[in-house]
Structure 1
Amino acid sequence: MDADETEIRLEKPATALRRGWTTGACATAATKAALTALLTGTFPDPVEITLPKGEQPAFPLARENLSTEQAMAGIIKDAGDDPDVTHGALVIASVRRLPEAAGIIFRAGDGVGMVTKAGLPVAVGEPAINPVPRQMMTEVVTTLCQEHGVSPDVEIEIAIGNGAELALQTWNPRLGIVGGLSVLGTTGVVHPFSCSSWIHSIHRGIDVARAEGYAHVLGATGSTSEKTAQDFYKLPDIACLDMGDFAGGLLKYLRFHPVPRLTIAGGFAKLTKLAQGALDLHSGRSQVDMVWLADRAMALGAHVDLRQRILCANTAMEVLELTREQGLDLPGAIAAEARTMALETLRGAPVEVDVMVMDRAGKLLAHAR
């Protein structure tokens, strides 16, 4: 772990990891089970669905209820070995037939959020059920209704147990998704410790900020640096992108979806790695180069004996303290080179960039702009 950020980060264990299923896959399976029961009087248990890439997992039912006009089925989400906030949550689908030509209508039950801001792949005023899960559920409904000779006019209400509370641990409040979680998934499969979901959230944050007309966004490596930079510029939460270690994911998306101004804020060690050219700042995927730091210190006029002390240092923060003793502005050099790296990654996109380097307590050490 880099020593300049205070938040807790989960590390991938060394043992083999078990895959899991997305919320969208669980919602689709629950929908199929409920509609099957409504049409036949019997719940399939387990219920099998086909995922976008052809896999056919089967899901045991955790809850079921059938009346003359409505059926409900619930499935416990299994995210495998991924530290997913929704692991173990009860995903419930309630379905009922609608008048002919009504179509397939999605509703948000308890624990599923509603979209209130533009820029997301779902329209404002709609339940936060993403396009791929909607398509999966639509295909299930269409197929079952064709098999039983009825029109595919069905209301699907998705609920997630404790979803409103769980959503507070996600990006949903910042993205304008209120009241609960989103029903997500593009493949139906959760790959443990995958970076894709985090980068996807960064992209959606940029989309929402653009749609809301914000001209200045903030990407920070952690909560401490984010607070300092947010207070400095008085930015609203919606303009704060949870960049974390994924500087590349942020910058490459802005290359094609630019916002006029970007502030990158982070601790000394994280931004040293960005200055070195790393776009993934995770401690397991990039390291601070002490030779590189020693060269920068020497360029700033460090005494010759300091070079060897830097090469023997254990952490970037130790190097920072060593250079402070000689009055060297190493954070300023790091901020400037990190800004250069960001601009190079943007490849001429119309984005003004400034970089803020913080210490562990969130104090501003350098600002390149």
Structure 2
Amino acid sequence: MKPRSGYTLPVFATAAAIAALRHLHQQEENKKVWVNLIEAAQTVEIEIEQVAQIGVNQALAITRSDPGDNLDITRNTPVWAIVESTVRSENLQSLSARIKTENEWLEENILIRGGEGVGKLSNELGKSAIYQYARRLLQENLQSLLQNDEQITVTIILPEGRKLAQRTSNEAFGVVEGLSLLGTTGISQPLSASEQLEVYQQALIEKAQQFETLVFCVGENGLQLAQQMGINPAQLLKTANWLGPMLVTAALQKVKGIVLFGYHGKLIKLAGGIFHTHHYLADGRLEILTAHLAQLGLPTSNLQQVFNCPTTEAALSYLRKLDQENHTHWVKAVYESIAAKIDQRSQEYIRKQAEQSVCVGSVLFERDRSIIVKSEKGINLLEKLLG
């Protein structure tokens, strides 16, 4: 059976905003609203769970995320939109004044705000992580519904956003305190399905015919950083969470060298023998980090602190602080240990699954895309790639 596609978070936020605005206009209510996705070029029905007036010229509507058959942490999470309507006699200067203090997004006569659970961009003075497609979707769907001289403020709330964000790498890439309204399309394709793996494998097979050494990037940040370093884009491959099958496919295609290029909070799983890195299937990141630190001799009280950190990024910050206060080198030591284990485990995995020998090196980077560690094999392979 073909995997079922769904919709991205911006679509549900827009649907809730449409329902809230229609309620303010006292229009006939329906359990569903139509949303023009713009990208793709189609209009879809989205179910509305609840809608109510909560103040003077203010209404709240709630819907729930449905990403289809993706392994997505936002599945069934509530998405709220509060819409406040005012007449344009206040003119757009009132919205402009508010945007200077609230630092949100102004789209013509629609002010878009991120409320509780919507992440903030740490590198843009706390501006809400509501990206261009989401803003365009809200603006184009709501603009045609506005009455004469009406201007509105739309506040998107993700009540479970802070909690869910702890299970993502958002903070590592500059989104804090919640989830982002991200995407370039309204359709949520099931990228975790086996069909997507086949697409990645086919791209690998084609590249393996041209190059003996390839660079595996788990996500977009790795791809961008690898290109910034000067690595030939033709030798880069996105793997998503399918590292195990991709390593085996590369070995069967007689690839001689592979550089694993990724965020430390993702690649660390390989050091524990976890070769499908989606959090739905396995985690163990803090356990792996703690085990390596124990082997290196970190005192028990510090090990407990690391183990109880909410994320690997928080654990890295703790270790950095520890190094600074005590003039130690735990970060360098533990990440060199982890990188070497990633290489070892990957090569063993390939030998076991494909009965082939491939040189695997690793490069781990952190939240600001600065590199934490390059394994010894990773350094050697990079010299060939950049030479």
TM-score scaled by length of structure 1 = 0.55
Task: Give the letter aligned to residue 113 of structure 1.
Answer: G
The answer to whether structure 1 residue 90 and structure 2 residue 52 are counterparts is: no
**2:251 corresponds to which of 289, 312, 328:** 289
Structure 2 unaligned residues grouped into runs of 5+: 96-108, 197-214, 258-346, 364-370
In structure 2, the residue matched to 1:58 is 45
Structure 1 residues 31 and 355, CA, compared in 2 at 3 Å: closer, same or farther?
Answer: same
> Which of 12, 16, 19 is the equivalent residue of 1:30?
16
Structure 1 residue 252: Cα displacement: 6.4
Match of 1:112 in 2: 118
Partner of 1:279: 237
Most deviating of 186-195 and 81-90: 186-195
% identity of equivalent residues: 24
Aligned length: 240
Q: Distance in 2 between matches of 1:174 and 1:293?
A: 31
2:350 to 311, 316, 333: 316
Decide which of 29, 33, 38 is 1:43's aligned counterpart.
29
Say if 1:144 and 1:322 are closer, same or farther in 2 by CA, change over 3 A: closer
When residues 252 and 100 of structure 1 are mapped into structure 2, their CA distance, relative to the original with a 3 A threshold, is closer
Superposition RMSD in Å = 4.1
Equivalents in 1 of 2:71, 2:377: separation in Å?
A: 33
- The equivalences for 1:145-164 within 5 A come to 145=146, 148-151=147-150, 153-164=151-162
Inter-partner Cα distance in structure 2 for 1:191 and 1:143: 28
Task: Specify which structure has the higher proportion of helix.
Answer: 2
- Deviation, structure 1 residue 136: 1.2
Contact 1:34/1:43, CA 8 A, preserved across alignment = no
Cα deviation for residue 171 of structure 1 reads: 2.3
Matches within 5 A, 1:97-246: 97-98=85-86, 99-101=90-92, 102=95, 103-118=109-124, 124-145=125-146, 148-151=147-150, 153-193=151-191, 243-244=217-218
One-letter identity of the residue aligned with 2:6:
G
Q: CA deviation at 1:61?
A: 1.1
Q: Is the 8 A contact 1:104 1:154 kept in 2?
A: yes
List per-residue Cα deviations over 1:158-187 (Å, max 9, x = no partner).
011211010112222112222111112322
What residue identity is the alignment partner of 2:237? L
Contact 2:251 2:354 in 1 (8 A): no
User: Retained in 2: the 8 A contact 1:354–1:367?
Assistant: no
Cα distance in 1 for residues equivalent to 2:71 and 2:170:
17
Which residue of structure 1 lines up, in the alignment, with residue 280 of structure 2?
none
Q: Per chain length, whose mean CA-contact separation is higher, i.e. which structure has more relative contact order (CA < 8 Å, sep 6+)?
A: 1
Deviation, structure 1 residue 139:
1.5
- Residue 191 of structure 2: SS of its match in structure 1? coil
The code of the aligned residue for 1:91 comes to V
Q: CA deviation at 1:355?
A: 9.1
Give me the whole-angstrom Cα distance separating, in 2, the residues matched to 1:138 and 1:279. Answer: 35
